[in-house]
Chains A and B, each alone.
Chain A
Amino acid sequence: MSLGMLALIGFLFGVGFGYFVQRAGLCFAHGLGEVFIGKGKRIVSLFLVIFVVTSLGFLLSELLSPSLGLKPVGQVRGHGFYNLLAGVFFGAGIFLNGGCVLGTLRQIGEGNMLFLVVLLSLIPGMALVVYGLDPLLERAYDVQQILVPELLGVPAPYVTVALVAGAIAWFVPLRRRK
Chain B
Amino acid sequence: MKSKKLSENALFLVACFAVLNVTMYLTIHKFWIGGSSFLPMVGQFGDGNTFLFAFVVNLGVIAGAFLGASTSGEFRLRMPRKENLARAVVGGTLIGIGVTLAPGTCTTAFVTGMPMLSVSSFLSAAGIFIGAYVVYKITWRW
Contact = CB atoms under 8 A, between A and B. Distances in A.
Classify chain B's interface size.
Answer: 35 or more
Main secondary structure on chain A at its contact with chain B?
Answer: helix
B98 A46 contact: no
Interface in B54-78: 54, 56-69, 72, 74-78
Given A87-B105, A113-B77, A133-B101, A121 B96 contact: yes
A98 B80 CA distance: 14
Given A68-B29, A82-B101, A109-B64, A93 B93 contact: yes
Contacts of A42: 10
Nearest to A117: B88
Interface string B103-117: 111111111111111
Contacts, number: 478
A157 B7 CA distance: 32
Nearest to A64: B26
Interface string A22-38: 11111011001100100
Main secondary structure on chain B at its contact with chain A?
Answer: helix
Contacts of A110: 65-66, 69, 74-76
Contacts of A36: 132-133, 136
B116 A58 contact: yes
A133 B116 CA distance: 28
Find the residue from B31, B35, B61, B109 having the highest chain A CB count within 10 A. B61
Nearest to B44: A130
Contacts of A86: 97-102, 105-106, 124, 127
Nearest to B69: A110
A126 B39 contact: yes
A74 to B, nearest CB: 3
A147 B97 CA distance: 24
A126 to B, nearest CB: 4
23 contacts: A6-B30, A10-B24, A14-B59, A14-B63, A17-B21, A19-B67, A53-B15, A74-B105, A76-B119, A80-B123, A83-B124, A84-B123, A88-B128, A88-B134, A94-B128, A96-B90, A111-B69, A113-B80, A121-B91, A121-B93, A122-B92, A125-B92, A126-B41
Interface of A: 1, 3, 6-7, 9-26, 28-29, 32-33, 36, 42, 45-47, 49-51, 53-55, 57-58, 61, 64, 67-68, 70-77, 80, 82-98, 100-102, 105-131, 133-134, 144-149, 151, 156, 159-160, 163
Given A54-B112, A73-B112, A87-B98, 20 more contacts: A1-B28, A11-B57, A14-B56, A14-B60, A26-B13, A29-B132, A58-B22, A64-B26, A73-B109, A74-B105, A86-B102, A87-B127, A95-B135, A97-B90, A101-B58, A102-B111, A109-B69, A122-B93, A126-B42, A130-B42
Interface of B: 7-8, 10-11, 13-39, 41-44, 49, 52-54, 56-69, 72, 74-81, 84-85, 87-136, 139
